[in-house]
Amino acid sequence: MDIHCRPQNNSFPTYDKITGPYSTKPYLQHFRPIKCFPTKSPVIMSLLVVSLPMVVIVTVRYGADLLAFCRQLFNQAVKLTRGHPTVSIDKTHAFVFSNCTHGQVDSVLETFHLYSDSHPSLCIGQEKGEFLDEVMSNAAPRLVLELGMHCGYSSVRILRLLGPAGRLLAVEQDPETADKGEEIILVAGFKHPQFQVLTCPSAVAIAGLQAHMGDAQGLDLILMDHDVEQYLPDLLALEKWGVLSPGCVLLVNGIFCTEARPFLEHIQARPLCYTQRRQLQGLMELTWNRASDVC
Ligand SMILES: C[S@@+](CC[C@H](N)C(=O)[O-])C[C@H]1O[C@@H](n2cnc3c(N)ncnc32)[C@H](O)[C@@H]1O
């Protein structure tokens, strides 16, 4: 294919609709045809024919990954240039509410991911979310307590893996955040008998927990993702009120924070009561061995 380059004397030609660009006779002398694609070469042509299917296969197979990678790079660059803006519950809620498909739980989670790709977010996110999924699938809990509901991301993850008899008690101390989180849970398609939002500080929720447990014998899984300084007092209160069922799984986020040290010292000093299991990026899985008399 031949193309024409700009005229040397900068007197750029007008576009002639009938004969096409740069082809009217008076201007022809200004242009020097250049061969930009030697299509007549059989070697190049056969290379093209051979490589084209490979390009198509690679694009189909890895196109989404490549796109996601490029998007992440772009978002990181945007974050760097913008500095460190603060987390906005209103913006998180508005984005998820107006961009997800209502009633489709996967769409709600994907929209959260999309938002946190380019905005600061407090949600545990996809990687830890998948870890939470695994723990949920293994434990098959009946009653789950979530401390720190925020905008409902982890609540939605938990609810979608609960069995038909399963229930979630989600605690959030900030009333506005609790309303927004609850709305997102409803948008994801969950109904009120499946979950209850307790709008109060964790200590208050734990003290009154028995009233919300229904016919459940105890808590089977607890996600702690609220105030790290509150982890130990809340664990002690849970022990005191006797609401942990034998084998109860604790998923505790932010375990590397210095504020989490008293909590870690407590469980490490009681190896008969607590078994430390897996850990991912500061999200630690523990089990409570109530069977032991010492606990
Ligand atoms: C890190 S966010 C939770 C994120 C959530 N787990 C998720 O992945 O979507 C922490 C939330 O805990 C709440 N919070 C902090 N201290 C609390 C407390 N003592 N009791 C109840 N909620 C608390 C905050 O208001 C905030 O919304």
> 227 in ligand 1 pocket by Cβ < 6 Å?
yes
pLDDT at 18 over 60: no
| Closest-lying ligand 1 atom to the alpha carbon of residue 122 | 1
Residues 161 and 260 in one domain: yes
CATH code of the domain containing 175: 3.40.50.150
* Higher per-residue confidence, 97 vs 5: 97
Ligand 1 center to residue 218 CA distance, Å? 22
Q: What percent of the chain has pLDDT above 90?
A: 69
Q: What percent of the chain has pLDDT above 70?
A: 73
Identify whether 155 is part of a domain: yes
Identify whether 108 is part of a domain: no
Identify whether 116 is part of a domain: no
Identify whether 41 is part of a domain: no
Number of domains in the chain: 2
> 202 in ligand 1 pocket by Cβ < 6 Å?
yes
Give me the mean pLDDT over the 204-226 stretch. 96
Identify whether 75 is part of a domain: no
18-32, 126-140, 179-193: lowest mean pLDDT where? 18-32
> 199 in ligand 1 pocket by Cβ < 6 Å?
no
Would you state the pLDDT for residue 7?
Answer: 36
> 124 in ligand 1 pocket by Cβ < 6 Å?
yes
Identify whether 52 is part of a domain: no
Give me the mean pLDDT over the 163-191 stretch. 98
Residues 281 and 144 in one domain: yes
Q: What is the pLDDT of residues 20-71, one digit of tens each?
A: 343 333 333 343 444 444 455 777 677 767 777 776 666 666 666 555 555 5
Residues 131 and 263 in one domain: yes
Would you state the pLDDT for residue 28?
Answer: 38
Identify whether 175 is part of a domain: yes
Write the DSSP assignment of the chain as a string of letters: -EEE---TT--PPPEETTTEET-SHHHHTT--EEE---TT-HHHHHHHHHHHHHHHHHHHHHHHHHHHHHHHHHHHHHHHHH--PPP-HHHHHHHHHHHSPTT-HHHHHHHHHHHHHHS---S-HHHHHHHHHHHHHHH--SEEEEE--TTSHHHHHHHTT--TT-EEEEE-S-HHHHHHHHHHHHHTT--GGGEEEE-S-HHHHHHTGGGG-TT--SEEEEEE-S-GGGHHHHHHHHHHTT-EEEEEEEEES-TTSGGGHHHHHHHHT-TTTEEEEEEETTEEEEEE-TTSTT-
Would you state the pLDDT for residue 287?
Answer: 97
The domain of 226 spans 124-288
Residues 134 and 27 in one domain: no
pLDDT at 11 over 60: no
> 172 in ligand 1 pocket by Cβ < 6 Å?
yes
Give me the mean pLDDT over the 254-271 stretch. 97
Would you state the pLDDT for residue 42?
Answer: 72
> 174 in ligand 1 pocket by Cβ < 6 Å?
yes
- Could you tell which of 121, 154, 168, 227 is best to mutate to test the pocket of ligand 1, judged by most ligand atoms within 8 Å of the CB? 227
pTM of the model: 0.75
